[in-house]
Amino acid sequence: MELRQPLIGLALAVALLLQSPSTKSSPSSPKRHRISVNFEYDFSRMQGCPVKGSALCVKQFDVYNLTDTGQRLFLFSIPAPAGAKEKRKNITDTSKPLVFAPGKHLIGVSAVTNHGAQSDPRACSIMIDITP
């Protein structure tokens, strides 16, 4: 089930790549990077999940690599602030080291409910460039 409502107010502000130390490799080979995302979300239409309860709410945000057409490669999740009911800025998290080939990559964030529905990560995305 695709969820459209929670996307309202979701705006990806930053996606940073921080190269991790790696073993010797050629300049064109994939290297490990950490991705940091920073975004805001307006919880006024659908609140963050409280610690207890079963009403429909935003449970987490999933971060994807959307570079390949038609594919969503899951990268990591960020828990939604518990019980949030208003616009929240600076929702931030950083991935563990992930392998990325040099070139452009489309990174997207999706709001996910406690019932498993999620918004389209392409609606909140940013293009980043991995340099060798």
Comparing CA positions, the residue from 72, 71, 70, 53 lying closest to residue 62 is: 72
Instruction: Give the burial class of 89: count Cβ atoms within 10 A of its Cβ; 0-12 exposed, 13-18 middle, 19 or more buried.
Output: exposed
Q: How many domains does the chain have?
A: 1
Range of the domain at 63: 5-20+32-130
25 inside domain: no
29 pLDDT band, cuts 50/70/90, is low
Of 103, 125, 128, 81, nearest to 31 (Cα)? 103
What is the C-alpha radius of gyration for the chain, rounded to an integer number of angstroms? 16
Residue 27 lies in a domain: no
Is residue 26 situated within a structural domain?
no
| pLDDT tens column, 63-112 | 999 988 778 999 999 999 998 999 999 899 999 998 888 889 999 999 99
Q: Is residue 42 one of the residues assigned to a domain?
A: yes
- pTM for the complete prediction? 0.79
Q: pLDDT-derived band of residue 48, with 50, 70 and 90 as boundaries?
A: very high
CATH of the domain at 84: 2.60.40.10
Tens-digit pLDDT profile for residues 58-75: 999 999 999 887 789 999
95 within some domain: yes
